[in-house]
Amino acid sequence: METVISEDGTPIAYERTGSGPPLVLVHGSADLHTFWDLAGTRSAFAEHCTVYAINRRGRGESGDAAEYELEREAEDVAAVVNAIDAPVTLLGHSSGALYSLEAALRTDNLRKLILNEPPVAVGDHELDVEEAVTEMGGLLEDGEHEQALVLFLQEVAQLTPEELDAARSAPIWKDMVNAANTLPRELQAIAEYEFDAARFVEMTTPTLVLSGGESPPFNKDATEAVTDALPNSRLVTFDGHAHEPMNTAPDRFVDEVLTFIRESN
């Protein structure tokens, strides 16, 4: 793992693999950088790109800070992007997509941006997580980190029993449990985030927004709103799939990303 120092002094770790144009990967709430290995997408990307897989703050070898704000996550991503000596394609998943979107306003080193279902509340949607945050906090205080993670995956991420079983059997499950203490603060910050389309009207970075055809209305409306807000963007939907096409349709996911990277625009 290598590290960069974020704006608030926190070290942010990432793992570099492959060769070619730089591609930075930002995982979601319950995961670590090895999330991208579950269905082999990172190794597939590394055949064509230099891949920088970030461990977000509070996870793995990355540091943390006593105070937490969503803006710090965006600064972390921007710090990694700015440390690379060539224009970067930035790919974020779920909450990692939200931080990547915000990071795009904090760097001049982006070539392209790819966002998979950033969790922004638009229209009549609200991210009501107060009860889940309280319950997870109690479990964490009692040392029940695994139960806190399971609660998040069931109640917030809304994994099916089959998906939860798959997560439990994944090689990164223990690391996910170890990082469960970061979930309540992150959920609270995301719930308080207000998406303002006007902030992005001048962001001309070519952007690919990804959505699952089987995702709930919250996710679909969010991806449509983000696509509409960005002046140089397009939306691709994975029919028959939900929130994690990188794991359920990895071949198509890799193909969509690489095709977008290779486009001249």
Contact 72, 185 (CB under 8 A): no
pLDDT at 260: 98
Average of per-residue pLDDT across 52-80: 96
Work out the number of other CB atoms within 10 angstroms of the CB of residue 248. 17
Look at the alpha carbons of 228, 77, 124, 239 in this order and tell me if their dihedral is positive or negative: positive
Structure tokens at 230: 């960005």
pLDDT at 166: 81
How does 45-60 read in b/e, with b if 16+ C-beta sit within 10 Å?
bbebbbbbbbbbbbbb
Structure tokens at 157: 């991420």
Is residue 158 pLDDT above 80, yes or no?
no
Contact 145, 237 (CB under 8 A): no
Work out the pLDDT band at 157, boundaries 50, 70, 90. confident
**CA–CA separation, 244 and 144 (whole Å):** 26
Structure tokens at 30: 């319950």
pLDDT at 136: 94
Spell out where the chain has E strands: 2-5, 11-18, 22-26, 50-55, 88-93, 110-116, 207-212, 233-238
Average of per-residue pLDDT across 248-262: 97
More confident residue, 251 or 160: 251
**CA–CA separation, 165 and 173 (whole Å):** 11
β-strands 50-55, 233-238 pairing: unpaired
Average of per-residue pLDDT across 76-97: 97
Average of per-residue pLDDT across 158-167: 80
- Interhelix angle 130-141/183-192, rounded to 10 degrees, is 160
pLDDT at 164: 83
DSSP one-letter code for 230: S
pLDDT at 257: 98
* Exposure on the CB side of residue 133, measured as CA atoms within 13 A: 14
| β-strand partners of 12 | 4
pLDDT at 129: 84
* Tens digit of each residue's pLDDT (9 = 90 or more) over 56-69: 999 999 999 999 99
Range name among 42-46, 138-142, 218-222 with the lowest pLDDT average: 218-222
* Tens digit of each residue's pLDDT (9 = 90 or more) over 178-212: 999 999 999 999 999 999 999 999 999 999 999 99
Structure tokens at 237: 């939907």
**CA–CA separation, 257 and 114 (whole Å):** 8
pLDDT at 91: 98
Q: For residue 95, which of 51, 13, 156, 14 has the smallest C-alpha distance?
A: 156
Share of the chain above pLDDT 70, in %: 100
Share of the chain above pLDDT 90, in %: 83
Average pLDDT over the chain reads 94
Work out the pLDDT band at 265, boundaries 50, 70, 90. low
DSSP string, 98-142: HHHHHHGGG-S-EEEEEEE------TT-----HHHHHHHHHHHHT
| β-strand partners of 90 | 24, 113
